[in-house]
A and B are shown apart, each in its own frame.
Chain A
Amino acid sequence: MSDQTRIPIIKIWHLLLVPLQGQIDDELAERLREDILSKVQSTEVSALLLDVTGLWLMDSHFCAALSQIAAAARLMGCETVICGMAPEIALTLQTMGLELTNVGTALSLEQAFSELGIGTVTGPESWESASDLDGSDPGQIQYEAVRR
């Protein structure tokens, strides 16, 4: 099954989004590591966002693999954030005493975006952060990458 499974690595502005799903076996983890680091280099992003909403299990082996990817990405000037962890997993990891070194955490994808400098820009109240607004509708919401 792992021959066919390909985890998407999606570039969004200055970050790479990797939505992890299902079961990640050793082979998949290794390919993922290579693909991610290679893409970090080619896209020159400064942040890597691993979404684990689709994961049902995270064990010590997986945490070690993640920490390894994060450490390597850091050497390339890229910061790693993980988001979407289920409460059961968080509780289990904490009880086991496992740590995710080199990895920042966020509750949701939205919050992770916010921490990594991507936010929303709304109407006339925030002129200073909008580059230029289309004046047609004062209530219009625009999404914009704002480097903070």
Chain B
Amino acid sequence: MSELHSALNALLTRFISPIIAQGILKRALREQNLDPLTLDRIGLQAVSPRLETAVRLFMDPESAEAFRAALLDLAGAPIPLESKKLSIKTERDLTDALSETRRLCQHWRMRAISQQKVATVVSELARNIVNYTPGGTVELIPLQGHTPRVLVRATDTGNGIPNLDQILEGRYRSKTGLGKGLLGTKRLSDRFEVRSGRSGTVVEAELKL
């Protein structure tokens, strides 16, 4: 077990019984796809919200608050996760963007299903940029806080999305499947916004981690 993992276990057992502590910790780590042997501060940061929720069943509000404070103390200053801006113009940029997205999601310790969603969103939005515009960028912005999220912002210098309303309402039918990527992205996202016009388009998709 990593040192941090041992410290975390010790912290939990200050508040609840060892057996329950062990169970909570094991489950939280597994759900977040973290390995106890290599648990580091970034991992702890990622799993903290899950732990805070789990212990509420076993502690009174005051203890839960004390636990939360102690957990923050153990985690130390929040490690700022950095955004990444990817330039998208060619097909090659698309494949590079996906590799980079995957690497970042793993670095941020996202669950497998969340990684999948983010990568799919990036793939859809970047592909639209490559296929229909002269070029643009895709930004991956981690939003930390009580509900950690990732913001994917795709900006391009194209001529705007025709039939946008129809596309977003699912009424647009195209043989080539045009529009399905955008609608699919909307369905995957927790928050979705498109601003599109003659001078370009900005798509923002927020996904919970």
Contact = CB atoms under 8 A, between A and B. Distances in A.
B98 A91 contact: no
Given A59-B124, A88-B116, A97 B91 contact: no
Q: Which size class do B's interface residues fall under?
A: 20 to 34
A64 B127 contact: no
A57 interface: yes
DSSP class of B's interface residues: helix, strand, loop or mixed?
helix
Interface stretch (B6-14, B141-149, B151-159, B179-187): B179-187
B91 A26 contact: yes
A34 B33 CA distance: 40
Interface residues of A, number: 21
Interface string A25-42: 111000000000000000
A57 B123 contact: yes
Residue picked from A27, A91, A98, most chain B C-beta under 10 Å: A98
B124 A25 contact: no
B113 interface: yes
A96 B95 contact: no
Contacts of A96: 120, 180, 183-185, 187-188
Given A60-B177, A64-B177, A27 B98 contact: no
Interface in A1-50: 1, 23, 25-27
Nearest to B126: A59
B187 A61 contact: no
Interface in A58-106: 58-61, 63-64, 88-89, 91-92, 95-98
A97 B185 CA distance: 10
A56 interface: yes
7 contacts: A27-B91, A57-B123, A59-B181, A88-B113, A88-B116, A96-B187, A97-B170
